[in-house]
Amino acid sequence: MQQRTIGTRSVSAIGLGGMPMSIEGRPDEARSIATIHAALDAGVTLIDTADAYHLHADDVGHNEELIARAVRSYGGDTSAVLIATKGGHLRPGDGSWTQNGHPDYLKDAAKASARRLGADAIGLYQFHRPDPKVPYADSIGAIRDLLDEGVIEMAGISNANVAQIDEANAILGGRLVSVQNQFSPAFGSSLGELEHCAALGIAFLPWSPLGGIRRAADVGQNHSVFQDVADAHGVSPQQVALAWELALAPVVIPIPGSSRPESIQDSVRAAELSLTDDELDELARLSRAA
């Protein structure tokens, strides 16, 4: 597996997003664990989760606990696996998503995540989404304190614009290692943030890199250029989408969500897919139009 860098850690160029295994439509636990084990078998060493990846109000942290169990039960070496989690987003249990960026809440949430993961310190902790009711600097200040106290090893942010990236990096004293934003063939408006991260050497982790749970299967149907390139290479359009994202900058590490072994097995093959300059130019035109 091709390797890329997040802070001080080397990780697989394709990660695994855990959300589909814990929200609406989630599979049984056996299939989820089989999916995580398939990812590990394929060389995936970055797994993305969040305390808000759950279905009911009383199962906060469902995905964190699921991933922790799967990694513990894996028969191989998992010492290189980086589990990245997030805090600041909440699911009250009625299907909605809310925010809480209060510093005290974030500190408590991070410590609860560490307990669920069975970790002395969380490898990568990311502020999940800005809270309009709390000054951004206050929320990031809590992440800085968690870093200084050793509760987390590395700090990141999610759903951030360029100004917030710079503000967070300044508050963290230059220790911001990742930005996790939505980016895919269907959603190209974070290209500016991706390019900004590339200039700063900060990892950019596209979430929903195939367009989201409802659109991932239809990448080729919804974006014919990806199907055309896929046909030319004899691969899936999903692989082409991920290979295109990887080619945008060496800091890009897509984290496609999966709930089936065959899905993540297909995704990881994108790390070995080489696209021509002409193909990349054609795909880039689509990204600017998205």
Catalytic residues: 53
Strand partners, 207: 182
Of the candidates 59, 64, 171, the residue with the CA atom closest to the CA atom of residue 124: 64
- Cα–Cα distances in angstroms (integers) from residue 118 to residues 50, 83, 115, 127, 208, in the given order: 14, 11, 5, 20, 27
CA distance 141 to 146: 9
CA distance 228 to 90: 40
Question: What is the residue type of 189?
Answer: S
Bridging pattern class, strands 9-12 and 3-6: antiparallel
163-169 — which CB contacts under 8 Å span 24+ positions? 164/130, 164/136, 165/193, 165/196, 165/197, 165/200, 165/202, 167/136, 167/137, 167/140, 168/127, 168/136, 168/140, 168/143, 169/200, 169/202
Is there a contact between 167 and 192 (Cβ–Cβ < 8 Å)? no
**φ and ψ of 253, to 5 deg:** -135, 95
